[in-house]
Amino acid sequence: MRKRLIVSAAGALSLFLAVPASASDFQPGAAGVGDSYYPTYGNGGYRVSHYDIRLKYQPATDELEGTTTLLATATQDLSRFNLDFALNVSEVRVNGRPATFATSGEQELQITPARPLAKGSQATVVVRYKGVPSTVKKYGFTAWLRTPDGAVAAGEPESAWWWFPSNDHPSDKATFDVSVQVPDGNQVISNGILTGTSSQAGWTRYSWRENKPQATYLATLAVGKFDISTDTTPSGLPVYNAYSKDLGDNADAARASVERTGELVDWLSGIFGDYPFSSVGGYVPNVPTGFALETQTRVFYSPRQFAKGANTSVVVHELAHQWYGDSVSLSRWSDIWLNEGFARYAQFLWSEHENEGTAQELADYVYASHPADDPFWSVKPGDPGPDDQFAGAVYDRGAVAIQALRNAVGDEKFFRILKGWPSERRYGNATIPEFQAYAEKVSGQKLGGLFDTWLFTAAKPAVGPVPAGAPAAASLAPAAADRRDEQPPAEPKSWKKIQEANPPQGVRH
């Protein structure tokens, strides 16, 4: 007894002696990744390379339970770190040892490992949890959408919190395995390739794999009863599309749009270069929402987007994001123009291809149809602020900015930039200044003035996106300029279909 006491005292002493050299180096990781728009989103102190998400879901009751395993690497000496998550956690293990955990804020899960994590070391983090995601509100909402026969996780920037714990910011991308058990007769849709299904005792497990880096908000999950269509594109890429069995009058228009995915991804490959992922497709669950989301390889569409008939423009928009947004992702949410400006511009190019209005005509139309005092011009597409992140101006003025770039550098260099950038930054992250530097390198032109005017000024540019050699509006006599304003160009034929790709304003998703 006495001997043991002496030994443990000696142990405590040596621990004490070791402490001063290192204790101050082991600090808690930050509760946010440092994004000015969403200060608590993502976390500091580590990066995730892989998520293994293993779930069981009961559509009748919306009960979800599961275990997610993260492979992480510490980027600082960590005494504690956070994940972003909303469901109830029952157990956390770090490198096999039970860890203590607590919740804080809206979606912070604080984890204190039994042994601190040294900078550069790898950690396996296992989180067990369960909940009824549709009932869990964060910031007053849930991104978990229930359908008559199941549920869907799709939302931007938030959707992960309701089904897997994560470092929830696009600057930390990882590969994903998603394996979900559901009652027989239901299907599970997720990203990438369906690697297998197995049935046992009334339950079927679907296993999906996305083998290329994926941002957490681009991970998606749908459970329900779907009609599945599989195919390969003309260039040999596997296509997997799914349609809820109860889409009613919208079913055929949805198919007439989404079944063209293979054709459209091949057409976009001609503009943006090789498609970056190993599968492609979309799914249309029976949700009441009105938006689509470029969930990686497997686009989420709302049936309402096909209520006025087929819309290939929406499909083009979401597929364009596979290059601009998914393969090349945002480093920070303020750079949303790198996603939405280019996806909208792809719709302009599709309109041009379909003889429903050229990109120039569409850009002229946007410029002319918003007078200088329209609040439209007060949104800076290059830094719109979190409340206007998905404002129409980010899309439309954002695309006009790209037409202005095209006019400034000429078609040959412009299309080299459009195709070169996704290859230069493939599977990575980027900022608008980095894109500008790339465009300057390819074009050999200084573009600071153009970017300032179109992306970073809260006012209508004095001159529209005029093609080289055309008279600029500002050079016309004031009376002539007024007349020009009185007679805006006619609405291009493609305009309404293009706008149907917009998220509903004022609806947070």
- Cα–Cα distances (Å) from 462 to 341, 365, 382, 386, 481, in that order, read 20, 15, 18, 27, 11
The total of other beta-carbon atoms located within 10 Å of residue 115's CB is 11
Buried b (16+ CB within 10 A) or exposed e, 137-174: ebeeebbbbbbebbbbbbbbbbbbbbbbbbbbbbbbbb
Judge contact between 427 and 276, C-beta under 8 A.
yes
Q: Which is nearer to Zn ion, 136 or 359 (CB)?
A: 359
Residues 319, 343: Cα–Cα separation, whole Å: 8
Q: Is the peptide bond before 157 cis (omega within 30 degrees of 0)?
A: yes
Work out how close the CB of 469 gets to Zn ion at its nearest, in angstroms, rounded to a whole number.
32
Q: Which is nearer to Zn ion, 53 or 284 (CB)?
A: 284
Work out how close the CB of 93 gets to Zn ion at its nearest, in angstroms, rounded to a whole number.
38
Work out how close the CB of 291 gets to Zn ion at its nearest, in angstroms, rounded to a whole number.
9
Q: Which is nearer to Zn ion, 343 or 349 (CB)?
A: 343
Q: Which is nearer to Zn ion, 340 or 434 (CB)?
A: 340
Query: Segment near Zn ion (CB under 5 A), from 61-69, 341-349, 356-364, 366-374?
Result: 341-349
Residues 372, 145: Cα–Cα separation, whole Å: 39
Residues 202, 470: Cα–Cα separation, whole Å: 69
Q: Tell me how many residues contact Zn ion (CB under 5 A).
A: 2
Work out how close the CB of 294 gets to Zn ion at its nearest, in angstroms, rounded to a whole number.
6
Query: Segment near Zn ion (CB under 5 A), from 236-244, 260-268, 334-342, 468-476?
Result: 334-342
For strands 27-28 and 78-84, give the pairing: parallel
Of 48, 92, 316, 343, the one binding Zn ion by CB under 5 A: 343
Q: Binding to Zn ion by residue 336, rule CB under 5 A?
A: no
Query: Segment near Zn ion (CB under 5 A), from 127-135, 335-343, 374-382, 424-432?
Result: 335-343
Q: Which is nearer to Zn ion, 313 or 436 (CB)?
A: 313
Query: Segment near Zn ion (CB under 5 A), from 116-124, 295-303, 336-344, 399-407?
Result: 336-344
Work out how close the CB of 330 gets to Zn ion at its nearest, in angstroms, rounded to a whole number.
12
93 membership: H or E segment, kind and range: strand 88-94
The total of other beta-carbon atoms located within 10 Å of residue 369's CB is 14
Work out how close the CB of 16 gets to Zn ion at its nearest, in angstroms, rounded to a whole number.
56
Query: Segment near Zn ion (CB under 5 A), from 11-19, 186-194, 217-225, 338-346?
Result: 338-346
Q: Which is nearer to Zn ion, 340 or 396 (CB)?
A: 340
Residue number closest to Zn ion, CB atom: 343
SS3 content of the chain, % helix, strand, coil (to 5): 35, 25, 40
Judge contact between 100 and 195, C-beta under 8 A.
no
Query: Segment near Zn ion (CB under 5 A), from 138-146, 244-252, 302-310, 337-345?
Result: 337-345
Site for Zn ion in 181-240 (CB under 5 A): none
Q: Which residues bind Zn ion (CB under 5 A)?
A: 340, 343
